[in-house]
Amino acid sequence: MKKFHSFLLKSFLGPMLMTFCIVMFILLMQFLWKYIDELVGKGLTWDIIGELMLYASATLVPMALPLTVLLASIMTLGDLGENNELLAMKAAGISLQKILAPLVILIVILSIFGFFFSNNILPVTNLKIKTLLYSVGQQRPELQIKEGAFTNGIEGYSIKVGEKDRKTSLMRRIMIYNQASREGNLSVTSADSGYMRVTADKKYMVVDLYSGCNYEDVRANGKPRNAKSNDYAFRRNYFAQQTILVPLSGFDFKRSDEGLFKNDYQMLNIAQLEIAGDSLKKELEQRKGYVFKNLIGRSSFTGPIDTSNTIKSKASYTLDSTIASMDFTDKKSAVSYALSMARSAKSNLATNKDEISYKQRIINRHRIEWHRKFALSFACFVFFFIGAPLGAIIRKGGLGMPVVISIFFFIIYYIISITGEKFVREGILIAPIGMWIASFILFPLGIFLSYKASNDSAILNTDLYLKFFKKIGKLFGKKKSA
C-alpha cells in the first residue's frame, strides 16, 4: 500500500504544481490589467516592479489554491480512469475511499496551510502591497491629473484637463492656475491642447501647450499685496505654442509609512480582527446610546416620568383635553413648537444615520475578513470532493475537459461567494451565512458525486444519454407510423 500511496501522491503533485503556476499566472495578469494605468510610465526600477509582483503573487495564493485543487484532482483521477489504472485498483479490491485516502490527508494539510497563510502571511503582504501601490501613486504627477477635475497636488499650481487620450497622452481643454505668488488666481493659462512630461531628474514638469491664452492681473509697482482688485492691470497674451516649466518637489519615489494602513481590516489576523471588531462594536453602541439620549433630551420630557399612583390620583391628563383647554394663540404656539422639535429630531436622526451606517459597514467588513480566512481554506476541501469524483466519473485527463469543468464550478462558487459577501456588506445577511453559503451549496454536491463515483455511476457518460434519446426517438417514430 505504501508504493500505491506514493504513486498516487506523485500522480497528484505533478498536475497540482503545474495548475498552480497556470492559475497564478492568469490571476497575476488580471492584477496587472487592473493596475496597468497606475504602473506604466512611472519610471519604476526593476527591483520595485519585482517586489510589487512578489507581493501581488502572495495576495493571490488563497484564491488560487481552491481552483488548483479542483483542476488537479479532476486531471489526476481522470488520467487514472482514462488509462484504466483506476479500474485495475478497484478490481484489486481497493475501494474509491481507500484510493482517495492519501489525497484527502494531503488536502487537509493544504487547507491548514491555506489558513495559516491567510492568517499570518496575507495580512503582511496586503500591507506591503497597499503601501507600495500608494507610494507608486505619488510618482509622475502628470499621470495623476484626472479628467474634468482640478488637481492641486503640485504646490503652487491648480490644473484642470477636460479630456486625456491614454494612447497618445494628448490633453485637451487645459487650464493652469499659477498660485506660486500666493496672491490668489492672478495668472491663468488656457490652452486647446498640450502634453505634460517630467524631466529625467524629476525636478520639473514640462508642459507644452498649443493654441491658448494667458490671462494675468498685474499689480502696479508699490501697491501692497492686499491691494483691491481694481488696483490690478489686466493683461491677455495669445499664443500658438508655449512651454511652461513647473518646479516639482517631493515627487521622487519614497516609500510611505506602513503605519498609514496597518489598522485596515485586510492587514489584520484573526486575533486582531476580533479585538478591532469588539472595539468598533462598543463605539457603535455608544454612538447609538448618545443619539437616543440626545433625542430624549430634545423632547419635552427632560427627566424620568413619574407614573406612581400618587401622581395619577391628583390629575388625569389627555392630549385632547389639554389642547381643548388652550386658546388659539396657545394652540398655534404649541403646534409650532412641536413641529420645530420634530424637524430638529428628524434632522438629527438623518445626520447620525449615515455615521451609524458607516460604522456598521466597517464592522461587517471586519467580520467578512474574519470568515474569509476560514472559508477559502475550506473551499480547498470542498473542491477536492467535487473534482476527484468528477475525474473518476468522466475518465478524461489532460487540460481539455478538466479545465472546462473546473472553470464552470469555480465560476459558480465565485458568483455565489461574491453575492453572499455583498449581502453581508449591506447588512442583508449575517457574516456566517453570507461567507459560507457557497460552501454550503457545493459541499452536498461533492458528497453526491462521491457517492456516484463509489458506485461506478455513468452519470456523465455521453453514450448513455445518446442511447436514451435514440430510444425516445424510436418510440415517437413507432407512434407516428401507427
**One-letter-per-residue 3-state SS of 405-428:** HHHHHHHHHHHHHHHHHHHHHCCC
Residue with cell 485586510: 266
Name the grid cell of 306: 413619574
Name the grid cell of 224: 501692497
- Whole-angstrom CA distances from 65 to 22, 419, 423 are 11, 21, 25
**CA 322, 325, 330, 336 torsion-angle sign:** positive
What pLDDT sits at residue 437? Answer: 92
Which residue in 42, 53, 261 sits closest to 138, CA to CA?
42
Which residue in 179, 125, 190 sits closest to 152, CA to CA?
179
What pLDDT sits at residue 140? Answer: 55
Which residue in 283, 261, 279 sits closest to 271, CA to CA?
279
Contact 203, 247 (CB under 8 A): yes
What pLDDT sits at residue 194? Answer: 92
What pLDDT sits at residue 299? Answer: 54
What pLDDT sits at residue 416? Answer: 92
Which residue in 467, 449, 314, 299 sits closest to 384, CA to CA?
449
The whole model's pTM is what? 0.65
DSSP code per residue over 132-193 = HHHHHHTS-HHHHPPBTSEE--STTEEEEEEEE-TTT--EEEEEEEE-TTSSSS-EEEEEEE
Q: How far apart are CA 222 and CA 145, in angstroms?
A: 37
Name the grid cell of 76: 489526476
Name the grid cell of 10: 506523485
Mean pLDDT by 10 residues, the chain (482 residues): 78 87 88 74 72 88 89 84 76 77 88 91 89 72 70 80 84 86 79 86 83 80 52 78 80 66 85 88 83 67 46 54 72 80 79 81 90 90 86 73 80 90 88 90 86 68 63 67 57
Q: Half-sphere exposure of residue 304, counting CA atoms within 13 Å on the CB side? A: 3
What pLDDT sits at residue 244? Answer: 87
**27-30 contacts: CB < 8 A, separation 24 or more?**
27/60, 27/63, 27/64, 28/53, 28/56, 28/57, 28/60
Residue 392, number of CB atoms within 10 A of its CB: 27
